[in-house]
Amino acid sequence: MPSEPLSQKEIEDRLRELPGWSLADNRIQRTYHLGSHLAASALVAHIAVVQDELDHHSDLTLGYDTVRLSVNTHSAGDAVTETDFALAERIEGLAPAHGAS
């Protein structure tokens, strides 16, 4: 899926529809809090499946009961693109089933 860099305004508009997500260092990011380390690990595994399906991959950091992720699009010069938001929306859709907040 070709994806062009989004403007600052486009990014801010899209972020308004994604509570918990923010922009930092040309990446969109969110930290999820879970009930246990195993729950956090399961969320990472689930996100990995979706990322391979979309062929778009975030940087993921697994903590004790947290999952932090950030993403931009390498092929667009490490800019934020619509593909990053498509991934974020997919993750938002699956995270609640893991008890993530």
According to the binding rule CB under 6 A, does residue 22 interact with ligand H2B? no
Mapping DSSP to helix (H, G, I), strand (E, B) and coil, where does residue 10 land?
helix
Q: Which of 56, 67, 79, 91 binds ligand H2B (CB under 6 A)?
A: 56
* Min CB(74)–ligand H2B separation in Å: 4
User: Which of 20, 31, 41, 57 is close enough to bind ligand H2B by CB under 6 A?
Assistant: 57
**Alpha-carbon dihedral 86, 59, 53, 63, rounded to 10 degrees:** -110
Can residue 98 be called a binding residue for ligand H2B (CB under 6 A)?
no
What are the residue ranges of helices labelled H in the chain? 8-16, 37-54, 82-94
Q: Which of 7, 61, 75, 101 binds ligand H2B (CB under 6 A)?
A: 75
22-24 sheet: strands from edge to edge: 22-24, 27-33, 66-71, 59-62
Q: How many Å apart are CA 60 and CA 45, to the nearest integer?
A: 10
- Name which position in 38, 74, 96, 97 contacts ligand H2B (CB under 6 A): 74
Residues near ligand H2B (CB under 6 A):
55-57, 71, 73-75
